[in-house]
């Protein structure tokens, strides 16, 4: 999905989410498990404020599980309830309801002590485009409800979907914008497919991905492409070797760099080479977190 974000557009999206938040007991903040920092909306804490929050790290199937645990611990320390899921294949989804129960325990205990009748927990999903909001809603509901490609600003009648024994989920997710200001974050958003029409040049995205894999998964990378390139060879040498091995050539037997760039981005984006978490917790903690 391609969404162009403009200041007025962002303000409207924020207003809409803020309005919807009034209807729910708990927020499901959905992030991409490969970039648990970079795929968060920059104003998310200001938007959600003190409302109980379950942080859902989606696309677990494409992430590094050791890093995922570190991120889960971090979110727990922030007072949130993290769960890692694979919405596409319907994995770990039961944990979402369990986390929602835990996150709202205090609130419902207070309601009970005031003599209020027990009722279902109300929740909504919030996140930047392409983190899997619609996929998750459809899987949780067990039917196609949310259209992938929902755009903010489109108003429709919102409905509650019953999930499990104790949960009601708003069928329309809140869509907020990604972080734009940081080049590295932009590359991570692009290499994971959160931003498809890149705000960063695609050659830079491919180089970023290639360098990440060279540093973190060299053996697997050379095996995957069946190339004989050393870790220290420059990017051109890598593009050349991969292009020739895959037959991505143009007139004059020259390597078609654009095709190589596209190939590398697609294969990393779809976890064809390996499963990676690009937001390495120790690096993000050092460079970005307070």
What is d(CA 152, CA 218) in angstroms, rounded to the nearest whole number?
40
Give the up-direction half-sphere exposure of residue 80: CA atoms within 13 A in the CB hemisphere: 23
Instruction: Tell me: does residue 131 bind ligand G4P (CB under 6 A).
Output: yes
Using CA of residue 183, residue 185, residue 186, residue 192, what is the dihedral sign?
Answer: positive
DSSP 147: P
Q: Which is nearer to ligand G4P, 28 or 239 (CB)?
A: 28
Pick one of 16, 39, 58, 192: the residue that binds ligand G4P (CB under 6 A).
58
Stretch that binds ligand G4P, among 81-89, 203-211, 227-235, 251-259 (CB under 6 A): 81-89
Q: Which is nearer to ligand G4P, 2 or 116 (CB)?
A: 2
Cβ within 8 Å of residue 108, ≥6 positions away: 25, 118, 121
Using CB under 6 A as the binding rule, the residues of this chain from 108 to 127 that contact ligand G4P are 127
Instruction: Tell me: does residue 88 bind ligand G4P (CB under 6 A).
Output: yes
Pick one of 53, 133, 188, 214: the residue that binds ligand G4P (CB under 6 A).
133
Using CA of residue 113, residue 115, residue 121, residue 122, what is the dihedral sign?
Answer: negative
Instruction: Tell me: does residue 148 bind ligand G4P (CB under 6 A).
Output: yes
Give how many residues touch ligand G4P by CB under 6 A.
17
Q: Which is nearer to ligand G4P, 133 or 179 (CB)?
A: 133
What is d(CA 100, CA 92) in angstroms, rounded to the nearest whole number?
14
SS3 at position 82: strand
Q: Which is nearer to ligand G4P, 62 or 227 (CB)?
A: 62
Instruction: Tell me: does residue 62 bind ligand G4P (CB under 6 A).
Output: yes
CB of 62 to ligand G4P, least distance (A): 5
Closest CA to 257 of 270, 246, 268: 246
What is d(CA 218, CA 230) in angstroms, rounded to the nearest whole number?
9
Annotated binding-site residue numbers: 58-61, 130-135, 174
**Binding-site residues for GTP:** 58-61, 130-135, 174
């Amino acid at each position: 999905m391609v969404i162009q974000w403009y200041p007025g557009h962002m303000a409207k999206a924020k207003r809409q989410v803020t309005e919807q938040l009034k209807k729910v007991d708990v927020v499901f903040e959905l992030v991409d498990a490969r970039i648990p920092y970079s795929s968060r909306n920059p104003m998310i804490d200001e938007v959600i404020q003190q409302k109980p929050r379950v942080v859902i790290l989606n696309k677990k199937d494409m992430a590094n599980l050791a890093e995922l645990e570190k991120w889960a611990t971090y979110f727990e320390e922030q007072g949130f309830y993290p769960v890692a899921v694979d919405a596409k294949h319907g994995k770990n989804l039961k944990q979402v309801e369990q986390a929602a129960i835990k996150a709202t325990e205090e609130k419902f205990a207070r309601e009970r002590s005031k003599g209020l009748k027990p009722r279902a927990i109300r929740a909504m999903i919030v996140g930047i485009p392409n983190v899997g909001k619609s996929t998750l809603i459809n899987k949780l509901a067990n039917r196609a409800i949310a259209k992938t490609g929902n755009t903010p600003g489109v108003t429709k009648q919102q409905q509650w979907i019953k999930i499990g024994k104790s949960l009601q989920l708003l069928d329309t997710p809140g869509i907020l914008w990604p972080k734009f200001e940081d080049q590295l974050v932009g590359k991570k958003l692009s290499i994971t497919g959160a931003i498809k029409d890149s705000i960063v040049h695609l050659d830079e995205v491919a180089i970023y991905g290639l360098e990440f894999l060279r540093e973190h998964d060299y053996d697997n990378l050379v095996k995957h492409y069946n190339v004989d390139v050393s870790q220290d060879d420059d990017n051109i040498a890598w593009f050349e070797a991969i292009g020739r091995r895959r037959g991505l050539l143009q007139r004059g037997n020259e390597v078609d760099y654009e095709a190589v760039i596209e190939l590398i981005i697609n294969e990393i984006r779809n976890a064809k080479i390996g499963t990676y978490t690009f937001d390495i917790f120790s690096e993000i903690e050092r460079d970005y977190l307070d």
